[in-house]
Amino acid sequence: MKTVFLVTLFFVAISLGFAQMPDGKIILPAKVVGLDTIPVVSLRVVEVSAFVGKAKSVAYYKLKNNVRVALPYARKAAATLAEINDKSLTFKNNRERKRYLNEQEDILKAQFEDKLKDLTVTQGQILIKLIDRETGASTYALVKDLKGGINAVFWQTIAHFWGSNLKVKYDPKGEDEMMEQVVQELDYESSRR
């Protein structure tokens, strides 16, 4: 009797399992919100590219790689500038401020000089634009404010020699629209980790 009952229960359970998925439909976990039943599904992230042609796609991924290299330096520059500006408010005179700026410059040189020398010319140009994006001021204006006009002109001349311009502004709705898209994509990727 027990065997017959168990066999019958087994077949009923199997038939109910098939009865719940007619025509290849899949039963999903769901959440009831008010009177609505909303399926709960985890979807994998899919990267959608709006580029037509291989050349534009290759250019985008080159830009993405270059921004990935330069963006941390731009963010570090913005953080350091904010720290310097906050600290500058506490100095009694210009001599203390200059001493502090020289100390910070030495620290930053020791930490980043070799790494920044390894940047390509393109990555350097992107860094200049990203510094403007992160700080709201051109690299030329920052050098002029922190180190003086003569230093700013000197570094502008060096940049010009390498095909760059320290006075360039970041234009997220124009020329730098694709770069802005890359920065937002990288921020999204890092927030997902």
- pLDDT tens string 140-154: 888 888 888 898 899
Burial 119-154 (b: 16+ CB within 10 A, else e): beebbbbbbbbbbbbbbebbbbbbbbebbeeeebee
pTM of the model: 0.69
Contact in structure between 96 and 141 (CB atoms under 8 Å): no
- pLDDT tens string 26-65: 777 888 888 888 888 887 777 666 666 778 888 888 999 9
Which token pair is 165? 């311009």
Name the residue ranges covered by the structural domains of the chain. 2-39, 54-192
